[in-house]
A and B are shown apart, each in its own frame.
Chain A
C-alpha cells in the first residue's frame, strides 16, 4: 500500500470509529464522548497500522499493548477492538448495560483485547511501565503504548512513572498525551495548568515529539519515530476535545454527557454518517 493510500485508509477508519463511539454513547445514554473523539486518530493509527496484535489470539504474550490510562476513553478502544474483530460489532450497543462485557471503564478480565484495567486516573502509565519492564526481562520486543489525558497529568503518580521509566530505561514504553486542553471541570489552563508541558517532560529526561494529533501523516510518523528511537520518547499530541462535532469541540460540558436524539442526528451528520 502506498503511503498516501495508508493515510487515506486510516482517516476513513478514524471516521468510522468516531461514528461508532457516538452511536455507543447515544444508545447507552451514558459515556465519555469528548475524550474519545480527541483520541480517535491516534487510536486508529495504532490499531490499524502500528500495533502487532492478533484478534484470533488476544492473549499472545508477544503482542503490543495499549493502555488508555485515561480509561474513560473506553468507547474509542472498544470501537477499535470491534473493528479489528476482537468481538462482534453488535456488542458495542451493549455498552454500560447489565450483562455486557463492555464496562464503563476498561476491564481486562471481561473484554477480549483489553490489556489492562483502568479508569482511576494516573495509574495506567505505571502499569504500562511494569509491562514494559516484563518485556525487557523476557527479551521480548513488544511495545507498550499509554494514552494519557492532559488533565490526568495533574496526578503526581504520572510524574513518578516519568521519573522511573527513564531510570529503568523503559524505551519500549511510549506515552502519548492527548493534549486536548480540557479536563472535567473546565479548560486545563484554568483548572490546573500544566504548561510548559514540553519543558516538564524534557526536565524529566524525555525526548519530546510534538505532533498535530488530527493530522494522520504526523500521527503515523510520530508513532514510528518513537518506536525507532532507543530512548524514552513521549508524544505530545495536540488535539481538540470533541473533535469532529462542532458543538462539542473544546467544550468541557461534553466531557461526559450523552446527546439527545436531535444532537445525535446533527453530530452523526457532521461525522459523515448518512441519515438512517
Chain B
C-alpha cells in the first residue's frame, strides 16, 4: 500500500483547519517549505508568520497570540521546538496553560541525512515533563489529519510530534482519534506491544512474525503519550502479563517511561524497551538508521521473546 509523508498530511490538515476556524494562525521559523506550513501560508498569507531563523521569538509570539484569543500552531524542527525554544515553551506556554499547539516537525530520525544535530530523540521526555502539556505522537497519514483537528479542538498547550517520513496507511481509515485514548489494533494474550509514531508498521510486522511462531502479541498504538491511557495499559498488562514498548526516541523518558510509570503502580509486569539506547546516532538513510539503532523488526521480535522469558520465570 502506498503511503504519504506525514508532513504533507500536516500541511493539508492545517489548510482545512484554517478554513474552519479563522482564529487559527501559523508560525514558522524559516523551515516552512520543509515542515509544509508553507501550504497554509500560501492560502492564508495574513494568518501566517515566518519569523526567520528565530525559534525563541516565535514561541513567545505564539504565547502572546494565544493570550489574546488566537489558536497558534507553531512549527519548526522538533529538536528546536523543545530545546532551543524549550524555556519559552515551559515558562510562557505550559505554565500559564496557553492554547498553543506545537507542530514539532522532523521528529525522531526522519531528517536522517542531516545527522545527530537534526535528529530529535529526547523531545518527548522534555515535553512530557512540563506540567499542563499534552503530548501526541502521530504514526499514520490519516491519523495525522484527525490529530490536528483534535488538538485544535482541545483548549490547552499541546506538543504534537510530526515526521518528515513517508509512512504507509496502517490504521483503518475510519479509526477515530480520541485524545488520551490508545488504539487496540490487534488482539493477543501472550504479551502486549505498545507503540507510538513511525515504528507502527514495523511493530505490526513483528506481531505477524511472532504469530507465525505461535506467539500472540496484542498491539496497542499509543498516540497520546500524555495523559496516557492507563485503562488500556492496565487491562493489557493484567491479561497478557508482559509489555514491550516501541518508540523512535531515547528509551529514557519517552513512551517506555510513561508506560512503566503507569504500570508499576497498578499492574507491574516484566517490560522491555525498544528504542534508541541512549546514544547519538549518525547520518544515513532513514530505514537503515532505524535498523542500525535498535528499531528493526528483529529488535522488536527479540525483545518480545526476552520479555516472554522473564514472564515465565516470574509466574
Which residues of A approach B to under 8 Å, CB–CB? Answer: 28, 30-31, 71-72, 96-100, 102-105, 107, 117-122, 151-152, 154-156, 183-185, 191-192
Using A104-B118, A156-B56, A184-B33 as known contacts, say yes or no to A96 and B113 having CB atoms under 8 A apart. Answer: yes
A122 and B117 contact, CB distance less than 8 A: no
Using A98-B288, A103-B116 as known contacts, say yes or no to A120 and B51 having CB atoms under 8 A apart. Answer: no
Separation of A16 and B115 alpha carbons in the complex (Å): 26
* B residues in contact with A31, CB < 8 Å: 113
B117 and A192 contact, CB distance less than 8 A: no
Which residues of B approach A to under 8 Å, CB–CB? Answer: 28, 30-34, 38, 50-54, 56-57, 79-80, 84, 113-118, 282-285, 288-289, 292
Shortest CB-to-CB span from B115 to chain A, Å, is: 4
Query: What is the chain B residue whose CB lies nearest that of A28?
Result: B113
Separation of A91 and B28 alpha carbons in the complex (Å): 36
Shortest CB-to-CB span from A238 to chain B, Å, is: 20
Separation of A156 and B28 alpha carbons in the complex (Å): 16
* A residues in contact with B79, CB < 8 Å: 120
Separation of A176 and B302 alpha carbons in the complex (Å): 52
Shortest CB-to-CB span from B292 to chain A, Å, is: 6
Shortest CB-to-CB span from A26 to chain B, Å, is: 14
Using A96-B283, A183-B53, A185-B50 as known contacts, say yes or no to A105 and B114 having CB atoms under 8 A apart. Answer: yes
Shortest CB-to-CB span from B232 to chain A, Å, is: 37
Across the interface, B117 reaches (CB within 8 A) one of A28, A104, A185, A191, namely A104
Interchain pairs with CB closer than 8 A, number: 89
* A residues in contact with B32, CB < 8 Å: 185
Query: What is the chain A residue whose CB lies nearest that of B285?
Result: A98
* B residues in contact with A71, CB < 8 Å: 117
- List 11 interface pairs A-B (beta carbons < 8 Å), by A numbering: A30-B113, A98-B285, A98-B289, A119-B115, A154-B54, A155-B53, A183-B52, A185-B31, A192-B30, A192-B53, A192-B54
B116 and A151 contact, CB distance less than 8 A: no
* A residues in contact with B51, CB < 8 Å: 154, 192
* B residues in contact with A185, CB < 8 Å: 28, 30-33, 38, 50
* A residues in contact with B57, CB < 8 Å: 156
* A residues in contact with B34, CB < 8 Å: 184
A97 and B30 contact, CB distance less than 8 A: no
A191 and B284 contact, CB distance less than 8 A: no
Separation of A119 and B115 alpha carbons in the complex (Å): 9
Query: What is the chain A residue whose CB lies nearest that of B51?
Result: A192
* A residues in contact with B114, CB < 8 Å: 72, 104-105, 119
Separation of A154 and B54 alpha carbons in the complex (Å): 6
* A residues in contact with B28, CB < 8 Å: 185
Separation of A31 and B114 alpha carbons in the complex (Å): 8
* B residues in contact with A97, CB < 8 Å: 283-284
Separation of A268 and B114 alpha carbons in the complex (Å): 24
Shortest CB-to-CB span from B57 to chain A, Å, is: 7
Separation of A120 and B56 alpha carbons in the complex (Å): 13
Query: What is the chain A residue whose CB lies nearest that of B80?
Result: A120
Separation of A105 and B54 alpha carbons in the complex (Å): 20
Across the interface, B115 reaches (CB within 8 A) one of A107, A184, A191, namely A107
Query: What is the chain B residue whose CB lies nearest that of A109?
Result: B280
Shortest CB-to-CB span from B37 to chain A, Å, is: 10
* B residues in contact with A120, CB < 8 Å: 79-80, 84, 117
Shortest CB-to-CB span from B281 to chain A, Å, is: 9
For the complex of A and B, the 4 pairs showing the least CB-CB separation, nearest first, are A192-B52, A119-B117, A104-B115, A154-B52
Separation of A183 and B30 alpha carbons in the complex (Å): 8
Query: What is the chain A residue whose CB lies nearest that of B37?
Result: A185
* A residues in contact with B33, CB < 8 Å: 184-185
Across the interface, A105 reaches (CB within 8 A) one of B30, B52, B118, namely B118
Question: Which of B57, B283, B292 is the most central at the interface, judged by chain A CB atoms within 10 Å of its CB?
Answer: B283
* A residues in contact with B284, CB < 8 Å: 96-98
Query: What is the chain B residue whose CB lies nearest that of A101?
Result: B282
Across the interface, A122 reaches (CB within 8 A) one of B53, B113, B283, B285, namely B53
Separation of A133 and B21 alpha carbons in the complex (Å): 52
Query: What is the chain B residue whose CB lies nearest that of A98?
Result: B284
* B residues in contact with A105, CB < 8 Å: 114-115, 117-118
Separation of A156 and B29 alpha carbons in the complex (Å): 13
Separation of A90 and B292 alpha carbons in the complex (Å): 24
Separation of A121 and B117 alpha carbons in the complex (Å): 10
Separation of A204 and B26 alpha carbons in the complex (Å): 33
Shortest CB-to-CB span from B31 to chain A, Å, is: 6
B56 and A192 contact, CB distance less than 8 A: no
Query: What is the chain A residue whose CB lies nearest that of B111?
Result: A104
* B residues in contact with A152, CB < 8 Å: 53
B282 and A103 contact, CB distance less than 8 A: yes
Separation of A114 and B85 alpha carbons in the complex (Å): 27
Shortest CB-to-CB span from A184 to chain B, Å, is: 5
Query: What is the chain B residue whose CB lies nearest that of A158?
Result: B53
Separation of A156 and B56 alpha carbons in the complex (Å): 8
Separation of A70 and B57 alpha carbons in the complex (Å): 20
B116 and A107 contact, CB distance less than 8 A: yes
Beyond the given A96-B283, A98-B285, A103-B117, could you list 6 further A-B residue pairs with CB under 8 A, ordered by the A residue number? A72-B114, A103-B115, A104-B283, A154-B51, A183-B52, A184-B30
Separation of A105 and B282 alpha carbons in the complex (Å): 10
Shortest CB-to-CB span from B248 to chain A, Å, is: 17
